[in-house]
Amino acid sequence: MSRFRFPRAILLELCSELRPVLERPSRRNHALCVPVQVLTTLGHLATGTFQRELADRSGMSQSSLSRVMPYVWDAIVGMAPRYIRFPYTQAEQANIKMQFAAIAGFPNVIGAIDCTHVAIKAPSENEFAFVNRKHFHSLNVQIICDAHMSLTNVVARWPGSTHDSYILSNSSVGNRLQTGAVRDGWLLGDSGYPLRTWLLTPLTRPQTEQERRYNEKHCRTRSVVERTIGLLKGRWRCLDRSGGTVLYSPTKVCRVVVACAVLHNIAQKNGIPVPSNAHTEDNEPDPGPPNAVHNAMAIKRRINVINGM
């Protein structure tokens, strides 16, 4: 559990599932078997340990490990459509709404959204775009989760300077929500997002008791995404700054993030205990998007929710 984050039975299932992709013909006498490929890669993702140390532990060369790991990432990323799915159907949404309502009584929530920064080394191209508002190089990764801290959407392709709201509006989920794919449900986002009919944000200056109650329920319900991000980074320390900066190109880091997201959902599905080092992400919201305009329908929808509190 400490090295690979999974018990033996789950590791064997994962190796079995990845075997058809990773078992390649080789003329070498000592080709790496699938369990060694998988476990060594998981060891790196779980701890952020340097490749040379992991290679020595596994009895292989550092160059062999460096060559193998991208194949394992990609094999895990290939599992993403089965393990990371946004709830578009009414049946899926009904179940998720009940789970979120059980937290604080906030109605019709189909997901909580936030972004988190994954520190990377300074890229050789377009370096300035990757410097975030906290002045380190990163990818800005969009996370949407359900009430049980499983991931329903992950977008990992934008430089650290990209605003959270821009990532959402240019994602597949954002595009479908904007075109009315969900009629009677919404995401909960922080004040860094613009208010939309499908994305409810807190009030900046609540005046009445109902408005304060709305903000309190919104905060309690939306905090699940902060805990989810903390759990994701706690399980897979390569994504957390305490595990060091990810020493790959931005393109490779994107694949690492999605691979970790798939593994996170496998852990959640199987009830794997939360690591002791998991924490709640302390993430200040981005300043509101420049020139954001809250449309009248969105304002009306939020008022109706407030009045129902």
Band the pLDDT of 212: cuts 50, 70, 90. very high
Confidence of residue 29 (pLDDT cuts 50, 70, 90): very low
Please answer whether residues 110 and 187 qualify as being in contact, where contact means their C-beta atoms are separated by less than 8 angstroms. Answer: yes
3-class SS of residue 109: strand
pLDDT bracket for residue 3 (50, 70, 90) = confident
- Neighbour count for residue 253 (Cβ, 10 Å): 25
Instruction: Provide mean pLDDT across the span 125-132.
Output: 94
| Mean pLDDT value across residues 236-242 | 87
The per-residue pLDDT for 1 is 84
* Structure confidence at residue 180 as a pLDDT band (50, 70, 90): confident
- The mean of the pLDDT values for the chain is 89
As a whole number of angstroms, the distance between CA 196 and CA 180 comes to 12
Give the pTM.
0.91
The DSSP result for 233-266, as a single string, is HHH-GGGSGGG--B-S-HHHHHHHHHHHHHHHHH
- Of residues 137 and 31, the one with the higher pLDDT is 137
pLDDT (tens digit per residue) in 154-173: 999 999 999 999 999 999 99
Mean pLDDT of 218-240: 95
Q: What is the pLDDT of residues 11-28, one digit of tens each?
A: 999 999 999 999 876 655
At residue 95, the 3 state secondary structure works out as helix
| Rounded mean pLDDT, 141-162 | 97
Higher local confidence (pLDDT), 243 or 34: 34
| Residue partners of 86: CB distance under 8 A and separation at least 6 | 111, 144, 152, 153, 173
Inform me whether the pLDDT recorded for 208 exceeds 90.
yes
Closest CA to 191 of 163, 172, 169: 163
pLDDT at 223 over 70: yes
pLDDT given for residue 145 in this prediction: 98
Half-sphere exposure of 161 (CA within 13 A, CB side): 7
Quote the pLDDT of residue 54.
65
| Average of per-residue pLDDT across 43-69 | 73
Both structure tokens of 170 = 């240019």
| 129-141 per-position pLDDT tens digit | 999 999 999 999 9
Distance CA 268, CA 52 (A): 30
Residue 243 clears pLDDT 70, i.e. is over it = no
Q: What is the pLDDT of residues 194-206, one digit of tens each?
A: 999 999 999 999 9
Q: What is the pLDDT of residue 78?
A: 96
> With contact defined as beta carbons under 8 Å apart, do 40 and 68 qualify?
yes
